[in-house]
Amino acid sequence: MASTRIGVIDDHPLFREGVVRSLSENKNFIVVGEGASGEDACRIARDLTPDILLLDVSMPGNGLSAIANVRHISPSTKVIMLTASEEVESLVAALRQGALGYVLKGVGARGLIDAIATVLRGSRCVSPSMSAKIMERTLHHDRSAETLLTPREIEIVDLVSLGLSNKRIGLKLDLQEKTVKHHMTQILTKLGVTNRTEAAMRWRDRLA
């Protein structure tokens, strides 16, 4: 049986080295590449096509944004977020972008290996504490798009759904156009969509 080929992306060298060392001790795994940014993730996906790519949420180039890029470049690569972020919004965004796993950095070597095995089987794997948070949100009927966005982002996506451009939104809200663009990037990530048209449709669908 061929070894599972893994890429490890994290901008904290000591943590990354520890993960690589733990994985390398398992005869079923081979670490084919390391990096520290979303750009590195895309490079490794393109050049090395690993079976599994471990990504952090918070790193240069935005780990969440890198997920869709990696899946576009190497559709066979399965993404697992290995992160310290316990924000439900990050989990939801990661899964919507196509990640199959969301594992918190406190996990031990055995837990990480089990998560990789689960994802290789095509199933999702989410740390128990994060699953509990999702369950709590579900029980409180708190799954709407509004809960993912800040008040300013809601103002902007409301105007996007009316067909306004970034420039017109900026004039209406007294914001610079580049600020509106920054908010739009956050909105797309949080709503799990790739462009403003999809964002507008998702926003309107919440009322259906």
Q: Are residues 55 and 113 in the same domain?
A: yes
| CATH number, domain containing residue 192 | 1.10.10.10
Residues 125, 165, single domain; the answer is no
Q: What is the tally of structural domains in the chain?
A: 2
Residue 132 shares a structural domain with residue 94: yes
The last residue of one of the domains, among 138, 167, 183, is 138
User: What is the pLDDT, as a whole number, of residue 141?
Assistant: 42
pLDDT at 150: 86
Q: Is the pTM of this model over 0.85?
A: no
Cβ-based burial of 30 (10 A; exposed 0-12, middle 13-18, buried ≥19): middle
Q: Are residues 18 and 116 in the same domain?
A: yes
Q: What pLDDT does 8 receive?
A: 98
Q: Which residues pair with 9 in a beta bridge?
A: 35
- How are beta strands 29-35 and 78-83 bridged, if at all? unpaired
Range of the domain at 112: 4-138
Number of Cβ within 10 Å of residue 41's Cβ equals 31
Alpha-helix residue ranges (DSSP H) falling in 30-175: 38-48, 63-73, 88-97, 109-120, 128-139, 151-161, 166-173
Question: Quick one: pLDDT at residue 72?
Answer: 93
Question: Are the C-beta atoms of residues 65 and 38 closer than 8 Å to each other?
Answer: yes
> Are 121 and 190 part of one and the same domain?
no
Residue ending a domain, choose from 138, 167, 187? 138
On whether both 155 and 134 belong to a single domain, the answer is: no
pLDDT one digit per residue (tens) for the chain, 208 residues? 689 999 999 999 999 999 999 999 999 999 999 999 999 999 999 999 999 999 999 888 888 889 999 999 999 999 999 999 888 888 888 988 899 999 999 899 999 999 999 999 989 899 988 887 776 665 554 445 666 788 899 999 999 988 999 999 999 999 999 999 999 998 888 887 888 988 888 887 765 5
Q: Say what the pLDDT of residue 140 is.
A: 52
Looking at the structure, tell me whether residues 41 and 10 fall in a common domain. yes
pLDDT of amino acid 189: 83
The verdict on 21 and 99 lying in the same domain is: yes
CATH code where residue 12 lies: 3.40.50.2300
Residue given tokens 């310290």 in the structure block: 84
Q: Are residues 127 and 181 in the same domain?
A: no
Same domain for 104 and 127: yes
Shared domain for 169 and 93, answered yes or no, is: no
Q: Which of 82, 110, 138 is the last residue of a domain?
A: 138
Q: Specify whether 152 is located in the same domain as 115.
A: no
